[in-house]
Amino acid sequence: MSFIPLAHYLFIALNVLMWVSLVYANKRDPGFIPCHSPDYDMALKQVPFYEEWQVRTGQNPLENLCHTCRLVRPLRAKHCRICNRCVKHFDHHCPYIDNCVGLRNRGPFFIFVSCVAWCSFITVYFAITMLHVFGFSWLFLFGLLQFIVVSVLMGALFIFVINQISINLTTNERINKKRYAYLRGPSGIFLNPFDRAALGTGWSFFHWVEPFDKKPNLLYNV
């Protein structure tokens, strides 16, 4: 019986997990918010009291309204122009999974990115092994250089996602942090109210504990 290196088993297992997580992230509802919310009509009725409301609460009662979906967006939600729906904890619309990354599918998306990154690293190892076993070949060298570039890019993406999880911040919030009032402290400087150490945010990310932003004092009252 021929011996198959452990790296081959690991590569196959990661590939299977990668495809399963890809399909799961693609097919699962990312956190679409039901359209035509009764709160939307209630908020519109309060528009005449806009100035009084803004002075009393310090919030703009209209900035949370989505007129396309006809709903009041909860904290951290955003309307996706591609899906044409509002998504809870909107991170970004990913062309690789052909779906939004949001509250309900960010776990399988992270698994997908992790598997792709580690498969890239193992592929570099395979390419180096081919050069060592069969000797120098321009074809093997060209393949190795390609795999190194891909592994560096995927490694950077993997680290970026890990960092996002550790500070409990979405990609959308990181890019548009100056636009969101809830990401500014009293002095107007950036302040992340959702960061509660890596372990706590990690558990919240995978829904093992209640997300921090579900607490009433951080929600918009409309």
Q: Catalytic site residues?
A: 94
Q: Is 1 helix (H, G, I), strand (E, B) or coil?
A: coil
Measured in degrees and rounded to the nearest 5, phi and psi for residue 120 equal -65, -40
Do the Cβ atoms of 119 and 102 come closer than 8 Å? no
Closest Cα to residue 170, out of 71, 100, 83, 65?
100
Sequence-ordered list of residues with C-beta below 8 angstroms from that of 108, at least 6 positions apart, any chain: 21, 22, 24, 25, 28
**One-character DSSP codes across 40-96:** HHHHHHTGGGHHHHHHHHSS-TTTTEETTTTEEPPTT-EEETTTTEEETT--EEETT
